[in-house]
Amino acid sequence: MRRWCWALMMLPIIALPLAANAATGAWTANASGPSLGVRGNWMKSPALRAPSSAPGTISVVNWRYQLSRPAPSGLVVRLCAADRCVEIEGASGSTRGLANVAAEETLHLAFGFQGQGALPPGLRVVSSEVTVNYH
């Protein structure tokens, strides 16, 4: 019984350094562009980068984008890191699809339209924004 009491008393001392090393935080980046002109092509937003050091790994990414006009049918949008993309739905939302990717990794949104042919003139991405939560 004494061993259990001693072990329970030591638990906070042992766990404290582990909790102190766990970094948590968030960063936000935004960009405008690209222009979207032809179905069947993928266009990437400019780089969305952490403004400073972000030690740790991604837990959740919130996104938001705005187009210059309502999206024509067939729009597919992906949120991408260097080696992984996740398909996202809607002009805003959140995803855990990039969980465990390095929090300092540069992200971008990739916009594509299914099918072939031209899109309405002047269709472009007015703004793209991500907020990366990491631990």
Band of pLDDT at residue 60, cut at 50, 70 and 90: very high
Judge whether 33 lies within some domain.
yes
- What is the pTM (predicted TM-score) of this model? 0.81
Output the pLDDT for position 23: 55
Judge whether 12 lies within some domain.
no
List the domain range (segments joined by +) for residue 60.
23-134
**Is the torsion defined by CA of 4, 10, 12, 18 positive or negative?**
negative
**Number of domains the chain contains:** 1
Tell me which of 22 and 31 has the higher pLDDT: 31
- Examine the pLDDT at 15 and tell me if it is beyond 70: no
Judge whether 34 lies within some domain.
yes
Overall average pLDDT of the 4-28 stretch: 53
Judge whether 10 lies within some domain.
no
Judge whether 58 lies within some domain.
yes
Judge whether 29 lies within some domain.
yes
Q: Phi first, then psi: what are they for 8, rounded to 5°? A: -65, -35
- CA–CA dist 84, 51 (Å, integer): 21
Output the pLDDT for position 6: 39
Cβ(86)–Cβ(39) under 8 Å? no
Question: For the domain that residue 107 is a member of, what is the CATH number?
Answer: 2.60.120.260
Kindly list the distances between the CA atom of residue 69 and the CA atoms of 75, 108, 110, 113, 125, in Å, as whole numbers in the listed order: 13, 21, 17, 15, 9
The model's pLDDT over 79-105, given as tens digits with 9 standing for 90+, comes to: 999 999 999 999 999 999 999 999 999
Provide DSSP, the chain.
-HHHHHHHHHHHHHHHHHHHH---EEEEEEE---B--BTT-EEEPPPB--SS---SBEEEEEEEEEESSPPPTTEEEEEE-SS-EEEE-SSEEEE-TTTTSBTT--BEEEEEESSSSBPPTT-BEEEEEEEEEE-
